[in-house]
Chain A
């Protein structure tokens, strides 16, 4: 990474400081779990000091895959969207730019936000992106239906992750890893809403793709046992994973609406905060149909 030694009034005074999985907690305490929840390789930290005694901190996270770097950006999309052409994209707000460029995720933070510091943040971001190839978002996102019975997918509320800690920071499910998430799974959560109305409850899909059908079945059983202990044991048979016609879609009423659930091959499909049992089942059915269509095109 070739960052300039001086940009505007800010001069590189320290760095890069290399942080890896063994030192990340020394650097950011519990914040490190966020990055270890994705496929993290290392972090380089650059410190720029301005002549006015303000600081710009550049953190460049090197991830194993572009999907992991995308996942970090996808956790929070509030702010101004910024494009770096074919090399990357980011979200800016109040002096902080969060950036996804291929297998790199970066945070560029100006201690004091001014027009000048903003310009320097963007210049540094261009340096991070320079010469990089920027792939498409994770293919798995293609399995999400754009609409569920009049509820439209909110693209700013779609997150990609692998860790149950990350899931809990978006949508608290359990203090234990009941979906058996891990670095070998990929998961998405998406919110759906109707028009511009302010609704407390927004249907949410969670889809998790496991390494194998057996690990998916084990996770499904874990979910039902823990989250819907009153559910019918028949809903958790291995047969549920074979084709749409034989697939059984379950539903259970919970404290915040109906939960629809099924297993489709090695993908677990869950719908939360559904207004009725029929919608819970219908939305899971829609999600599975879309998933299968995506799988056919993807394969």
Chain B
């Protein structure tokens, strides 16, 4: 019989077997010899209280630390100004609901942009349709870290799904093609920073909140490479799942969009061995 163009479990298993063979001969993640992308993970044990309330002052410091580490600048102001000009129209793209990006994270970014000299009137909420993003000259992607029942992971790459104007197509056979949205003319090249809210991620059954699978990781994950940031978030989710079950508990469906964003859409690096991860702060259950 002739095989169709569908991507099957067998195709996936063949690709992961090949990847595992390559990984077995590579350097471990944190040393990342020959790395070509960098990701920063900043955590603070005091970022949330026992009742999952966010400490805004701590989060503000974490955001400042994160942007300085990502840019290599010595001050918060110079860090933001190395990414944006005062003339830029900066679109913030948070997750609006269903495990939304915490308001405190968005507020800290907005405040620090203003303090750095970006006029408040130039800062927009660009999440939603295509109109606002078309007006923006620069974007900051600010998704919440979560697994997604349709795409495996529903964080960085999926955060721009509404910019496509045809979100539902990506729920079906096109779910691996989320990366193509980042190459649309009104989106391409605008994202200067990806900053993932990993204060309280969701490792299964997203996007609807399910507290059985949410935990206080109390972290921010950031970088300039969206695929590398997504890949590091995916690693954290995967390790948390295995820890919860006490045995391998792979995401289903597999997050095909991550490797496709690298190999098919050339948005960044999906191979963990080529990502240098810098970790700062609280190290319990780091999962990296």
Contact = CB atoms under 8 A, between A and B. Distances in A.
Contacts, number: 117
Interface string B37-55: 0000000000000011000
B175 interface: yes
A174 B252 CA distance: 11
B9 A256 contact: yes
Interface string B193-211: 0000000000001111111
Contacts of A168: 252-253
B197 to A, nearest CB: 17
B149 A31 contact: yes
Interface string A160-174: 000001001111111
B21 interface: no
A170 B251 CA distance: 9
Interface stretch (B57-65, B164-172, B227-235): B164-172
B149 A169 contact: yes
A172 B171 CA distance: 14
Contacts of A228: 1
B121 interface: no
B interface SS class = loop
Given A31-B98, A175-B7, A165 B211 contact: no
A277 interface: no
Interface residues of B, number: 46
A96 B211 CA distance: 7
B185 to A, nearest CB: 24
Contacts of A176: 4, 6-7, 173
A218 interface: no
Interface stretch (B12-20, B26-34, B80-88, B261-269): B12-20
Contacts of A226: 3-4, 6, 8
B51 A229 contact: no
Contacts of B52: 112
A80 B211 CA distance: 14
B165 to A, nearest CB: 14
Contact of A93 (B7, B17, B148, B211): B211
A56 B14 CA distance: 45
B211 A95 contact: yes
A184 interface: no
A172 B176 CA distance: 13
B2 A229 contact: yes
Interface string A221-264: 00011111111010000000000000000000011100000000
A178 B11 CA distance: 14
Nearest to A232: B1
Interface string B142-173: 00000011110010000001000001100111
B119 interface: no
B238 to A, nearest CB: 15
Contact of A225 (B1, B51, B171, B210): B1
A200 B248 contact: yes
A256 B8 CA distance: 12
Contacts of A33: 150, 171
B1 A230 contact: yes
A154 to B, nearest CB: 14
B207 A29 contact: yes
A224 B205 contact: no
A277 to B, nearest CB: 17
B176 A175 contact: yes
Nearest to B16: A255
A79 to B, nearest CB: 6
B207 A171 contact: no
B163 to A, nearest CB: 14
B254 interface: yes
Given A109-B211, A175-B7, A169 B247 contact: no
Contacts of A34: 149
Given A34-B149, A230-B1, A254-B10, A96 B172 contact: no
A139 interface: no
A117 B39 CA distance: 39
A94 B3 contact: no
Contacts of A94: 211-212, 214
A231 B7 CA distance: 18
B56 interface: no
A225 B4 contact: yes
Contacts of B206: 31
B9 A173 contact: yes
Nearest to A221: B1
B256 interface: yes
Given A172-B254, A175-B173, A256-B9, A225 B3 contact: yes
B12 A172 contact: yes
A73 to B, nearest CB: 13
19 contacts: A25-B167, A28-B207, A28-B208, A168-B252, A169-B149, A171-B9, A172-B9, A174-B7, A175-B172, A175-B176, A175-B253, A178-B8, A198-B246, A198-B247, A226-B6, A254-B9, A255-B9, A255-B10, A255-B14
Interface of B: 1-4, 6-10, 12-14, 17, 51-52, 97-98, 148-151, 154, 161, 167-168, 171-173, 175-176, 205-212, 214, 246-248, 252-254, 256
